[in-house]
């Protein structure tokens, strides 16, 4: 028995040491101490964020305060009340503690996230707008993932919005060996907006809906039942019945919303992120690797492709999937598309898969320096340069103008709405001005 007690004590000490940086402690006026787990996004260091989002050759340093900039409760309350939202934003001891953490100890991380937000916020806002949700929900990924699509939690949640595989698949996100759409900024944002819409319909309170996003709707239902407040329940009325992490989750969201709006008042300025300000998409017709694209398109790097296409786990894009490129690289890709599919750099999709078709006359490996017969490919004679250029010219994209519909674009370009949907991987009719749409 004595040995068991000692081992338990040692285990408790080790556990306290490991998680010492993962909690926030609040001491109330009554002297009562309460401990809150920090959301995953608050555990990512500034150094990790810098690796993801900054270019050492082109870095604008964010200004982080050299001293603590603290404000009275009345000023914080006034600022929170001026955020134009339908989500309740109260200030209390817990919310204040999270605001202090973001504005002081995490000021450097906030500086990096502000730069990344220039790329991600329009994506988040578009998805939230489609479901008629408060746009301030775009700050949930700040506490979930620190705006990192590569983020993976201790329990396996992944991506900007930290979807578990089960919930992700329930909302249409594909996860397989090559693709993890939980990391796709656009598709995961659509899924998150749909999920949040369903949660609000279920609970009728944004505090409860946000809490349910963290711990699941079942735990919120249990908390409501245990509180005895079935009618008119809100987050604060069931607060004491919630899991410890969830009790801090909503205050952390309020704090993130505050700091992303009032960072200037705390002496923080955004760092310049190495993400393109403008990007566009194209549906690839054949399986292709990042290496193949880079070998033909000199104005984009593999690191850039990985940064804006984080859903592709092996640097391979399967046929009929979407490729996102910096806006200036789209035209180059479309013009060279056929040639890109036919290139064979050392790490093509075929080599990554370790397979070679039986009818190939030339074995291609990572050590290949010569090709025995350059006139053959996959047992077929390659086309002449003239025919290749003709096929490239046949691929054409147009920019969507204000007032355009798929029907009007199809009519102008002698094609059909169904064909345009197929070429661009569109499921509906939604297009936006400035978007590039492939018509041939």
Residues involved in catalysis: 144
The HSE-up count of residue 153 (CA atoms within 13 Å, CB side) is: 23
Query: Quick one: which of 412, 391, 414 has its CA closest to 400?
Result: 412
Contact 337, 300 (CB under 8 A): no
* Torsion sign over Cα 330, 335, 338, 343: negative
**DSSP letter assigned to residue 180:** B
**Where do we find the tokens 């709405």?**
417
State residue 359 phi and psi, 5-degree precision: -95, 10
CA distances from 399 to 195, 320, 328, 412 (A): 32, 21, 13, 12
The C-alpha R_g of the chain, in whole angstroms, comes to 26
User: How far is residue 256's CA from residue 308's CA, in Å, rounded to a whole number?
Assistant: 24
**Where do we find the tokens 């035209």?**
331
* Helices marked H in 131-216: 140-145, 165-170, 185-203, 206-215
User: How far is residue 225's CA from residue 205's CA, in Å, rounded to a whole number?
Assistant: 16
CB neighbour burial string for 407-423, b if at least 16 within 10 angstroms, e if fewer: eebbeeeebebeebbeb
**Residues with Cβ within 8 Å of residue 246, at least 6 apart in sequence:** 211, 214, 215, 219
SS3 content of the chain, % helix, strand, coil (to 5): 50, 10, 40
Query: Quick one: which of 130, 117, 252, 113 has its CA closest to 191?
Result: 130
* Helices marked H in 153-301: 165-170, 185-203, 206-215, 217-227, 244-262, 290-296
Which class for 401: exposed (0-12), middle (13-18), buried (19 or more C-beta within 10 A)?
A: exposed
């Amino acid at each position: 028995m004595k040995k068991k007690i000692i081992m338990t004590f040692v285990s408790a000490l080790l556990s306290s040491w490991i998680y010492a940086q993962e909690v926030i402690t609040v001491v109330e006026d009554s002297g009562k101490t309460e401990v809150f787990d920090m959301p995953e996004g608050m555990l990512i260091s500034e150094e990790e964020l810098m690796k993801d989002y900054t270019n050492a050759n082109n870095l604008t340093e964010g200004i982080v305060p050299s001293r603590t900039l603290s404000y009275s409760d009345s000023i914080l309350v006034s600022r929170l009340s001026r955020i134009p939202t339908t989500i309740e934003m109260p200030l209390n001891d817990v919310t204040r503690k999270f605001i202090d953490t973001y504005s002081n100890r995490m000021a450097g991380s906030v500086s990096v996230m502000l730069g990344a937000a220039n790329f991600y916020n329009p994506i988040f806002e578009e998805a939230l707008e489609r479901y008629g949700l408060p746009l301030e929900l775009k700050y949930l990924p700040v506490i979930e993932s620190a705006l990192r699509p590569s983020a993976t939690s201790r329990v396996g949640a992944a991506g900007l919005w930290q979807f578990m595989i089960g919930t992700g698949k329930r909302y249409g996100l594909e996860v397989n060996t090559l693709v993890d759409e939980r990391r796709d900024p656009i598709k995961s944002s659509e899924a998150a907006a749909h999920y949040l819409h369903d949660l609000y319909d279920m609970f009728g309170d944004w505090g409860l809906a946000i809490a349910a996003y963290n711990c699941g709707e079942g735990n919120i239902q249990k908390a409501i039942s245990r509180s005895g407040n079935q009618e008119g329940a809100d987050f604060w009325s069931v607060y004491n019945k919630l899991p410890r992490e969830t009790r801090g989750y909503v205050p952390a969201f309020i704090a993130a919303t505050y700091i992303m709006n009032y960072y200037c008042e705390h002496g923080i300025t955004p760092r310049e992120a190495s993400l393109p300000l403008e990007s566009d998409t194209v549906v690839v017709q054949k399986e292709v690797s990042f290496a193949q694209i880079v070998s033909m398109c000199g104005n984009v790097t593999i690191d850039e492709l990985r940064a804006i296409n984080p859903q592709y786990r092996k640097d391979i894009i399967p046929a009929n999937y979407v490729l996102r490129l910096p806006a200036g690289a789209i035209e180059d890709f479309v013009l060279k598309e056929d040639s890109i599919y036919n290139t064979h750099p050392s790490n093509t999709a075929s080599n990554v898969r370790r397979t070679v078709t039986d009818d190939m006359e030339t074995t291609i490996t990572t050590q290949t320096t010569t090709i025995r017969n350059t006139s053959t490919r996959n047992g077929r004679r390659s086309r002449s340069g003239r025919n290749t250029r003709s096929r490239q010219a046949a691929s054409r994209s147009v920019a969507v103008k204000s007032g355009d519909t798929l029907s009007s674009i199809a009519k102008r370009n002698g094609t059909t709405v169904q064909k345009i949907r197929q070429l661009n991987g569109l499921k509906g009719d939604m297009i936006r001005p400035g978007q590039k749409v492939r018509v041939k």
